[in-house]
Amino acid sequence: MYEERYKLHPISAFINFVKGLKELILPFIIIFGVNIFRDGGVSSMFNQGWQGLIPIIIGSVVLVFLLVGGIIKWKRFVYWFEDGELRIEYGLFVKKKRYIPFDRIQSLNYTEGIFHRPLGLVKVKVETAGSGKVGQAEAELTAISREDADRIENEMEKAKRQLPEETAAEMGPHEQVEPLPKKEAKVLYRMSMKELLILATTSGGIGVVISAVAIFLSQFSELIPYDAIYEEVMLFLRFGALIVALTIFFVLLVAWVISVIMTIFANYQFTIQRDEDHIYITRGLLEKKKVSVPLKRVQGIKVSQNPLRELFGYATVMVESAGGSIGDKDEKIRLFPLVKTERMIPILAELFPELEWTPELVKAPKRSVHFFYRLDLLWFSPVFAALGYFFYPYGLLALIIVPIVVVIGIWQHRTVGYALADKQLTMQFRGISKHRFFMLKKRVQVVQVTQSYFQRRKELASINSTIKSGMMGATASTPHMEKADASRILAWFEPSGNKELKH
Amino acid sequence: MDNQPKNQISRKGLTVWRVYGSMETAVLALLAVGAGVLTYFFEWPQWLYALYGGVILLFGFLFIYLFPKIRWQRWRYEVREQEIELQHGLFVVTRTLVPMVRVQHVDTEQGPILRKYDLAEISISTAATTHTIPALITAEADELRARISVLARVAEDDV
């Protein structure tokens, strides 16, 4: 039986071309950049006869090659549906075939770039649970129309429904599979402009931008004529420290504004929807991204608050989900980039009704408080000794760290806690930011209890529990809890319940 | 802690750790000899010889005698029908509970030294973590691997 072959939208030839161009932009700049700095600038290239034109000739050959390559790639790429599989055939020189069974497909992620949007197209990334090998059984459809994307989704649904029926069909007459009713996706949350602004202004993105600028500048440090600058700087310094400070402030401000704008672009119109078995997250201004998370793949929820956001009652919520592709930075899916804690609870409760969202936490006992800073101080003490000895008396200023470490330790001690319900474990802890992990018992992979010699003397123990996250695990750990609490969690986690009987 | 897991690892495991410890001490001793030669030629102070000797003795005592002994006494495991329980650690004792449902696969592995002593180590992998029992008699390890894989297969998959 011959199944209909589908092609990508022709624009994908152009997108392939642009993508190839992007990778070549650096060599191009070097080739032409070098020539510009030669005597006579660019114009000299045309004065030297054909030899001067070599870079241009090479450049245009490469361009033509890229363009043709892009077109051929598009021409060669076909996909179709057969035997409950998504089948793809592609390849520029070597023809490759990739068959992906529908029931292996974990999610279809849509992205709309600037080229896609005017034409109503999407880029579809097919994600499977992943066998651990990078790039295997994962496909990307560069540009297809919305209807085509919906068709893939429908075929997928059909195949998944058919599977159990097929086994039944072996015994009885085959039933016609009726077209599925389109599932309604309900909008649960739309990020308000205010939240978006707060997110942008309080995110750590500023550090990234500053370091990027620093790296960028350091690249050019050799080109800068320092002698000339030095004189100007001396002149500049005469204007006084005020101007220097103002300049630094201005640079920081610009960096901050850039980071704010970037964050706004990335998270514009952040929306959460859900239907029966998926959560959909849509976001982005220039490039619209849609991520779908199958609910049954969700392993746990992590709510994080850095001190600043904690002060104003805002939090970030991450979904720890199994599978996904390696090296994908969306591996940890941000369910809420930023949300008021009161507002998030009802939405979370609707998304995950089986979880308890405001459990009463059991805190660490008072006597464990010094465990949170004692060891750190011990590690620091040789540094203090060395600094105090070699840089006396100023080295002693390092001792300022001591109260800071102690205060952070006390803070961590206050935060740490756990809550145990019949089917759920909640753990809260703090590095500097506060994290709260919500885990279902059936999702916890391993529970570990550790006890050092000193903890044993004080009847304390640390508790770690690991869930699967992406290809790896994510561990929640509450250090220095009551030993009895650790035993309780172990007993709760033990499937056979031996320990519970003994208690 | 309360009731430790039942089984200990093989007594020969202790011997293997002592062999490892001896090898590390030998490497350190070589370094010390090198330092001693330097001390001789550059006429550094005499007490350095005593320091080198002391370091080697202490290292040997800790890594050949004391640490393997504590580690071996600590190491316990128990494979029950529905879960695996491990206990290990030198300064910090770690107690691990892996439900059988979570076990994805089991491997046994044998390096040259382990093979000489007819030992093997067994690694239990979940979707997120891997846990290793370091020294079991080969036959025992094979039997355990087979048993865990049978027990793990019974359980339904939830990721």
The answer to whether B80 contacts A451, with C-beta atoms less than 8 Å apart, is no
Q: Which of A326-330, A352-356, B3-7, B8-12 has the lowest mean pLDDT?
A: A326-330
Quote the pLDDT of residue A176. 44
Flag whether B140 is in a domain. yes
Q: Are residues A145 and A214 both part of a single domain? A: no
Strands (E), A333-391: 333-340, 362-363
3-state SS class at B63: helix
Instruction: Quickly tell me which residue has 């001792």 as its tokens.
Output: A399
- B6 to chain A, any CB pair closer than 8 A? The answer is no
- What total number of domains does chain B contain? 2
Flag whether B159 is in a domain. no
pLDDT band, residue A437 (cuts 50/70/90):
very high
pLDDT band, residue A393 (cuts 50/70/90):
confident
Q: Are residues A143 and A241 both part of a single domain? A: no
A494 vs B2, B83, B102: nearest CB? B83
Which domain-ending residue is among B24, B41, B73? B73
Q: Are residues B69 and B113 both part of a single domain? A: no
Q: Are residues B63 and B104 both part of a single domain? A: no
Helix A401-415 crosses helix A374-390 at what angle (to 10 degrees)?
170
Share of residues in chain A with pLDDT > 90 (%):
17
Flag whether A186 is in a domain. no
pLDDT tens-digit map of B40-53? 998 888 898 999 99
Residue A169 has pLDDT above 50, yes or no: no
> What's the whole-number average pLDDT of chain A?
79
d(CA A452, CA A375): 12
Quote the pLDDT of residue A21. 83
Which residues in chain B come in under a pLDDT of 50? 1, 157-159
Residue A15 has pLDDT above 80, yes or no: yes
- B102 to chain A, any CB pair closer than 8 A? The answer is yes
Q: Are residues B96 and B150 both part of a single domain? A: yes
The larger pLDDT score, comparing residue A106 to residue A477, is at A477
Q: Which residues contact A244 (CB under 8 A, 6 or more apart)?
A: A236, A237
Q: Are residues B56 and B122 both part of a single domain? A: no
Q: Are residues B103 and B136 both part of a single domain? A: yes
B128 vs A461, A472, A490: nearest CB? A472
Average pLDDT of span A53-72:
84
Which domain-ending residue is among A267, A288, A307? A267
Average pLDDT of span A78-107:
81
Structural contact between residues B142 and B121, judged by C-beta atoms closer than 8 angstroms: no
- A450 to chain B, any CB pair closer than 8 A? The answer is yes
Residue B93 belongs to domain spanning: 76-154
Flag whether A98 is in a domain. yes
Residue A123 belongs to domain spanning: 6-169
Q: Are residues A242 and A296 both part of a single domain? A: no
The residue in chain B having the minimum alpha-carbon distance to the alpha carbon of residue A492 is B97
Flag whether B2 is in a domain. no
Quote the pLDDT of residue B81. 87
Flag whether B1 is in a domain. no
pTM: 0.72
- A491 to chain B, any CB pair closer than 8 A? The answer is no
Which domain-ending residue is among B47, B73, B99? B73
Q: Are residues A77 and A103 both part of a single domain? A: yes
Q: Are residues A346 and A375 both part of a single domain? A: no
Average pLDDT of span A482-499:
87
The answer to whether A473 contacts B128, with C-beta atoms less than 8 Å apart, is yes
Quote the pLDDT of residue A465. 93
The larger pLDDT score, comparing residue A181 to residue A245, is at A245
Quote the pLDDT of residue A311. 87
Q: Are residues B135 and B121 both part of a single domain? A: yes
Flag whether B141 is in a domain. yes
DSSP A178: P
Q: Which of A42-51, A168-177, B35-44 has the lowest mean pLDDT?
A: A168-177
The larger pLDDT score, comparing residue B36 to residue A140, is at B36
Q: Are residues A431 and A320 both part of a single domain? A: yes
The larger pLDDT score, comparing residue A147 to residue A165, is at A147
A109-118, A123-132, A335-344 — most confident range: A335-344
d(CA A307, CA A434): 7
Q: Are residues A275 and A249 both part of a single domain? A: no
pLDDT tens-digit map of A210-256? 666 665 555 555 555 666 667 776 666 666 666 767 777 787 778 77
Residue A173 has pLDDT above 50, yes or no: no
Average pLDDT of span A247-270:
81
Number of residues in chain A: 503
Average pLDDT of span A284-293:
81
Residue A450 has pLDDT above 90, yes or no: yes
Quote the pLDDT of residue A398. 79
d(CA B62, CA B69): 10
Average pLDDT of span A467-486:
87
Flag whether B56 is in a domain. yes
Q: Are residues B107 and B149 both part of a single domain? A: yes
Q: Are residues B32 and B60 both part of a single domain? A: yes
Residue A262 has pLDDT above 70, yes or no: yes
Q: Are residues B124 and B62 both part of a single domain? A: no
Average pLDDT of span A187-212:
74
Q: Are residues A41 and A163 both part of a single domain? A: yes
Residue A124 has pLDDT above 50, yes or no: yes
Quote the pLDDT of residue A229. 67
pLDDT band, residue A167 (cuts 50/70/90):
very low
Flag whether B3 is in a domain. no
- What total number of domains does chain A contain? 4
d(CA A465, CA A492): 12
Chain A residues touching B97 at Cβ < 8 A:
446-448, 490, 493-494
Flag whether B68 is in a domain. yes
Which domain-ending residue is among A232, A267, A302? A267
CA distance B115 to chain A (A): 30
Which domain-ending residue is among A233, A249, A267? A267
- B2 to chain A, any CB pair closer than 8 A? The answer is yes
Q: Are residues B56 and B119 both part of a single domain? A: no
Chain A residues touching B83 at Cβ < 8 A:
494-496
d(CA A363, CA A478): 10
DSSP string, A298-319: EEEEEEEE-HHHHHTTEEEEEE
Q: Are residues B62 and B80 both part of a single domain? A: no
Q: Are residues B25 and B87 both part of a single domain? A: no
DSSP B64: I
Q: Which of A120-134, A376-390, A416-430, B115-129 has the lowest mean pLDDT?
A: A120-134
Q: Are residues A331 and A383 both part of a single domain? A: no
Q: Are residues A208 and A71 both part of a single domain? A: no
- A353 to chain B, any CB pair closer than 8 A? The answer is no
Q: Are residues A119 and A32 both part of a single domain? A: yes
Residue A171 has pLDDT above 50, yes or no: no
Q: Are residues A246 and A214 both part of a single domain? A: yes
